[in-house]
Structure 1
Amino acid sequence: MLRPLILALCLVVHLISAQCGPGSIYQQSNSRCLTLFRAAVNFQTAESICATLSGHLVSIHNAIDNAFVSSQAQKYMDGGAWIGAQASAPDVTNPLNWYWTDGSNFDYQNYKVGQPTPPGSTACMQLETGTAKWQTANCTNKLPFICSAAATVVPTCPTITIPSHCPSGYTWFETTDFCYKTTVQFTNFNDARSACQADGGDLASIHSIAENAFLVGLSKAGITNKDKDWNDDVWIGLVYQNSKWQWTDGSVVNYVNWGDGEPNNMNKEWWTALVADPHEGKNSEGTRWNNVPQDDQRAFLCKIAPLH
């Protein structure tokens, strides 16, 4: 009788708590969720990815918020990261010419010495994660970024256990409603695919910049490839067959993210690896794709439909 009574009280007494999704950080002072992306993209792309999370690039309105956001960012990234301020006019020294993409007032700034300065034809704001100071940057620059979205408010009642979204070892990505797993094991494409198929899935297909950024974060090792054979990358399921690129899971090729000069060597490099960690001397490939021969790579990404 006690459990039905508690559940009945939950319908009457509206006690609440806030929750964030997997991989997000709850900021209690603003009841919001912060999601940090280490993949470097331009300002508009970053804002678009935040929109897929029902949010915007983060806005900052006081010293306490600034310290919290920068302290969290330091744990995951070095250097600058996009926050959600963009200039609406060339005079970047005038606070009235700045706005936050979430529509809130531009009522606080924490510029480093000598800032703000015009960075070019467009001006957006980056947070220096190590110092918590701000400086302007051209909006076409590519930087990591920080998203903010309202926390989900839920009743503080006994949780009813529901089946997991994903099989053991897999991580669910809400935006695509698929489950993903990184396996760190030097192996060739065929053996990697067989391992994914044994789980009931396939090597990962990628259909948007948001999905690509998620998989970079899932598979990144934090190393710089110093092996001139370039085999520290991650297998995905894109193959060149019948004179065209195809996903092994049969899904449509509606998004590609080749590195500069890729694909090349089409006489033998018919498979694809995600460059989760940059190649030494060829950093343009970081977070992007490289077509490769059938050699061993350090890891592979599996993708499988969720359990629900």
Structure 2
Amino acid sequence: MFYLNSSGFADAELNCNQNGGHLASIHDGFTNALLPQEAYKRFHESTETDFWIGATNLMSGNSWNWTDGSPFDFKDWKTGEPQNTTGANCAVQSLNDGFWSAQDCFKPKAYVCKTPLTYYTTTKTYPLTFNCSDGWNYFAPTHSCYGVNRSGYHANWTAAEVYCVNNGAHLPSIHSFAEFRYLMSYLYVPWYNVWTGIFSPDSGKTWMNKDETTVEFLKYANWCTGYPTNTTGERCVLLDNINERDCYSDFDCISRELNTVCKKPLFI
């Protein structure tokens, strides 16, 4: 799917998610040649010279990955790329020659989404909007409401999870880059950190989600410097914007009180 309406990288990925896919990943030379040719047919009347694809180094260990989680097994960087400069963390493909370059993720650009055919034949249709209760907001890619009741809630991890359960929810698990960025948005305006539903019952040897879904969180961001602490006992994970920007920290689940965001799936 080709989108001429310009968006920053994260917004483009979110729009792809809402339509059942991700920004396009590329795994062979044929696809790499086909995309700019097809894009040119749709974008040639605009001033666009390149478009977002799904490669970024924001998700894990400063290495380049695809937002759909597929192997990064093909690349076609322009000579001198990717740039090792601040902010050049997302990849575009040139309409003229098909080569890739790293650019500022906030630049508005056209983009290409890749959606599995099965999405159109077997996937349920979910609403793009939903009226959650007061203090909660709907996030269409996960079909879930996030938040707390209007007055908010500040507590240790254990009490926060009980609070979420009493509201038909859990502390949030993280299953995509889009969901990670959405949860981080709570930190940018009112708060500096917030609990997730991720915890370790064995001093950091294994990590689990309280909602019993699979654990994928390290695909989408890194540990803050010095974490995980590997301290004896149960450890609980928070999104951190104090120690370091956009990373994970872990603490014991009882002594530290933080802001709470709950996640309530609406459609199973």
Deviations 1:66-123 (A, max 9, x none): xxxxxxxxxxxxxxxxxxxxxx9xxxxxxxx9x97994127437xxxxxxxx994148
Amino acid at match of 2:17: T
1:244 CA drift (Å): 1.2
- Structure 2 counterpart SS, 1:238: strand
Question: 5+ unaligned residues in a row in structure 1: which ranges?
Answer: 1-31, 40-45, 58-87, 89-96, 110-117, 124-137, 150-162, 226-231
Contact 1:56–1:102 (8 Å) recurs in 2 = no
Count of equivalent residues = 186
1:209 CA drift (Å): 0.5
The residue number in structure 1 matching 2:135 is 169
Alignment of 1:1-308 (within 5 A): 48-54=13-19, 103-105=42-44, 107-108=46-47, 120-122=80-82, 139-140=101-102, 143-144=105-106, 166-182=132-148, 184-217=152-185, 219-222=186-189, 232-242=192-202, 243-256=205-218, 257-261=221-225, 263-268=227-232, 270-275=235-240, 278-279=241-242, 282-283=243-244, 286-294=245-253, 295-306=255-266
Residue identity over aligned pairs, in percent, reads 19
* Change beyond 3 A, Cα 1:102–1:288: farther
Q: Alignment RMSD, CA only?
A: 4.4
Contact 2:154–2:257 (8 Å) recurs in 1 = yes
User: Please, what TM-score do these two structures have when normalized by structure 2?
Assistant: 0.53
Deviations 1:209-249 (A, max 9, x none): 111111112x12437x9xxxxxx410011000144100011
Instruction: Answer with 1 or 2: which has the greater Rg.
Output: 1
* Change beyond 3 A, Cα 1:299–1:210: same
| CA distance, structure 1, for counterparts of residue 258 and residue 8 of structure 2 | 25
Amino acid at match of 2:266: P
Deviations 1:259-291 (A, max 9, x none): 34464211147110012xx32xx54xx223222
* Change beyond 3 A, Cα 1:195–1:146: farther
* Change beyond 3 A, Cα 1:267–1:49: same
